[in-house]
Structure 1
Amino acid sequence: MKQELYTWHSKQLDKDMSLFVYGEKGIPLLAFPSENGSANDWEEHGMVEAIQEYIEKGRVQLFTVNTVDSESWFCENGINPWRTSRQEAYYNCIIEEVLPYIHKKNKSKTMPIVAGVGMGANHAAIIFLRRPDLFQSLMALSGIYDVRYFFDDYMDSNLYDNAPERFLENMPPDHAYIELYNKRKMIFCVGQGYQEFDGVKTLKSLERIFITKSIDAWCDYWGYDVSHDWYWWKEQIQYFLPELLGDNDNLD
């Protein structure tokens, strides 16, 4: 399996960033790590190995990025407007810098799948729900979809734009994105075991919004033995990836 490291100086963030590329062809899969994660987290924790066969057979080309979570969501001693501006800059980095690189590197001419685990599920959900015109599907595993867990009662325009539970709640029923969401595939999954309580609670709130807005999203709640852990995320990506690739997309 071919692997490459790409580094660049992000204009949006004014700092060096990196991503790894696994494979040479296939549907592009943009993947976010867990809290404060680095670009090689998916490899180090076995997620690349879990989908290695898809990569080696040219079904998927995987792109894994790093984050600036320590400057935004988890910068507890930071000034809130600065923290939210860093998250918005990170979002813009993904849209304006990472996506063009993916399209340049990937020859399939297809929109990417976007996926994430833990805090990475939040990033995946944010960029997909803000720009469903740029992605074909979403897989969000064990996210916490409520900005109050990170910012208490603080809110500004940057944070609002990165809070799906807020902007979806206020989205008009005739908004063009609702029709677009329903042309895509969205999968949200969370276990109900150790450290997943908040994930279950916030996903149920998000699911209520989906139902109210007539948005078709698969919200899947795994068993009480399923914890907030890479072991289970590997199980989940092996279970859900074939669904995102389509009924006729198999390895046989």
Structure 2
Amino acid sequence: MYIAYYKEYSHFLGRDMEFKVYGHSGKPCVVFPAQDGRFFDYEGFGMVECIKNYIEEGKIQLFCVDSIDLESWSRKNGDYQQRIEQHEKWFNYIINEAIPRFREIYGETSGNYYYGKFLTTGCSMGAYHSANFFFRRPDVFDSVISLSGLYDANFFFPNHFNELIYNNSPVEFLRNMPWNHPYLDIYRNSKIVICVGQGRWEEECIRDTNYMKENLERLQVPAWIDYWGYDVDHDWPWWRVQLPYFLSHIL
């Protein structure tokens, strides 16, 4: 399996950012870590191993990025505006710096520059990020696998809403999306998987998954909303089962 580590400067964040690549070709996939996680966690928790056959066969290439959740979503007692502005800088880093770089790397490893759209995935907070990026930028992403996520920004910014927070809250902006919005036809031609277990530590995630289901049904956007069993906990052992299962259908 081709594996490479990168550390490159981000002008949006004013610092070096790290990421890791697994695989040489196939569908490029941006992987977001769980809350406060790092770019190496996907490998460390066995998520790369559980889909290594897809990677080695050239069916998927993973780009595992770093988070800055501790400066934004997870930062306690911080100014809400500063927190969400920091998140937005990271959002722009991913879209405007990381994604173009991933296209170049894909060309270097596969022999062909990649002009198409990306798959994105993540677990827990990574599920939120993957859904948020997909629904905000369907011009960049055409498929998403979100496992055990929270999708309402109010959980992290209680009793406070401004435009930036609203724009990063899929539950809210989908709820209010008009029928003539140009993104709807793009969503309808994408692959959307939102999965949640019904075991331990999934209560809030079940609630937000229900909200997403209601919103997408109202908008007539086809999506695979999957509720797993009451023994399925909010934890890595189950995400290692879910990811290859959904990839077998998405790919």
Q: TM-score range by the shorter chain?
A: over 0.9
Structure 1 residue ranges, 4+ long, deviating more than 6 angstroms after superposition: none
Contact 1:7 1:18 in 2 (8 A): yes
Aligned to 2:171: 165
SS at match of 2:141: coil
Report % sequence identity.
40
Select 1:199's aligned residue among 199, 205, 220. 205
SS at match of 2:175: coil
Q: What is the CA deviation profile of residues 25-45 of structure 1, one whole-angstrom value per residue up to 9, with x for unaligned ones?
A: 111011011010000000000
Equivalent residues in 2 for 1:78-117 (5 A)? 78-107=78-107, 109=114, 110-117=116-123
SS at match of 1:151: coil
Q: What is the CA deviation profile of residues 68-92 of structure 1, one whole-angstrom value per residue up to 9, with x for unaligned ones?
A: 0001110012111000001111111
Aligned to 2:221: 215
Task: Give the distance between the partners of 1:8 and 1:163, measured in 2 at CA.
Answer: 29
- Deviation at residue 15 of structure 1 after TM alignment: 2.2
Select 1:131's aligned residue among 107, 130, 137. 137
SS at match of 1:106: helix
TM-score for the superposition, normalised by structure 1: 0.95
Q: Over aligned residue pairs, what C-alpha RMSD do you find?
A: 1.0
Q: What is the CA deviation profile of residues 1-41 of structure 1, one whole-angstrom value per residue up to 9, with x for unaligned ones?
A: 12111111211112221110011111101101101000000
Equivalent position amino acid for 1:196 in 2: E
Range 103-112 or range 79-88, more displaced: 103-112
Task: Give the distance between the partners of 2:103 and 2:199, measured in 1 at CA.
Answer: 38
- Deviation at residue 126 of structure 1 after TM alignment: 0.6
Answering whether residue 237 of structure 2 is matched by residue 237 of structure 1, we say no
Task: Give the distance between the partners of 2:7 and 2:223, measured in 1 at CA.
Answer: 34
- Deviation at residue 173 of structure 1 after TM alignment: 0.4
Answering whether residue 137 of structure 2 is matched by residue 148 of structure 1, we say no
Contact 1:26 1:106 in 2 (8 A): no
Gap regions ≥5 residues in structure 2 = none
